Amino acid sequence: MQGSLTLAASQAVCIEYLMPHLESWRRDYPLVAIQLLVREESPVDFSRETIDLAIQNGPGGGLGHSRVVEVHYKLVASPHWNSRAFGDPRQLEEIECLSTRERWRFVSHYADQVKVAPRRTFHCEHEKVLQQAALRGLGPAILPEWLVRGSLDRGELVELLPTWRVEHLGYDMGIYAVWPGRNLSRKGRVFLQHLTKGGGCKRS
């Protein structure tokens, strides 16, 4: 297979999610040139430019879509927060938090559910910016696991409330491949299979 494939994704998705897949794609399909467009808007506007496939949060913006990652969120903070007594999600309503969303649901291992509206003193729609704010100690943040996994592994961030699962109320927490028509091009179809190979949706 040869030719070109134009992809669009946010900077965070490009760096933290797509790059490992692009590395293996280049080995498997060296004759297919990749044009990677960094687009922060979601959903991507297909009417403005020619894009084969957008990798984005949620399924909006195109006629065809497929979820490629089931996203899991974590409550994270810089390491100095680890020593604080932090055992109940309701504490988020009393401390300074970083957030993109207004309401979250925490579910414990015992199936207890707590709905929380964090006290947001720093609000930003871009999760990569919130990650940087958390790294600088500005407060706890609720962020996708795929985005913060490296920072957690390196000890730059710590997970708070690790026994609770975080869910956003009224929001599809997934990364989707979206295309502008009902029929996906052959190269787009092969790339989508490359993203999801190994048995269905990947989890993050």
Domains of the chain: 3-69+173-203 (3.40.190.10), 73-168 (3.40.190.290)
DSSP 138-173: S--EEEEHHHHHHHHHTTSSEEESTTEEEEETT---
Predicted confidence at residue 192, as pLDDT, reads 93
Q: How much is the pTM?
A: 0.75
The DSSP code for 51 is -
pLDDT category at 172 given cuts 50, 70, 90 is low
The DSSP code for 46 is T
Note if the bond before 118 is cis, omega within 30 degrees. no
The tokens for 17 are: 């999610």
pLDDT at 196 over 50: yes
pLDDT at 53 over 70: yes
Predicted confidence at residue 173, as pLDDT, reads 67
Over residues 178-190, the mean pLDDT reads 89
pLDDT tens for 112-130 read 888 888 777 778 778 888 9
Q: Which residue has the tokens 């006629």?
A: 63
pLDDT at 95 over 50: yes
Predicted confidence at residue 33, as pLDDT, reads 94
Q: Are 99 and 125 in contact (CB under 8 A)?
A: no
Rounded Cα distance, 74 and 38, in Å: 25
Over residues 65-86, the mean pLDDT reads 84
pLDDT at 104 over 90: no
Q: Which of 48, 68, 49 is nearest to 57 (CA)?
A: 68
Average pLDDT, the chain: 84
pLDDT category at 199 given cuts 50, 70, 90 is very low
Element (H, E) at 141: strand 141-144
For 77, phi then psi, to 5°, come to -160, 170
Q: What angle do CA 106, 107, 110 make, to 5 degrees?
A: 150
3-state secondary structure of 8: strand
HSE-up (13 A, CA, CB side) for residue 109: 3
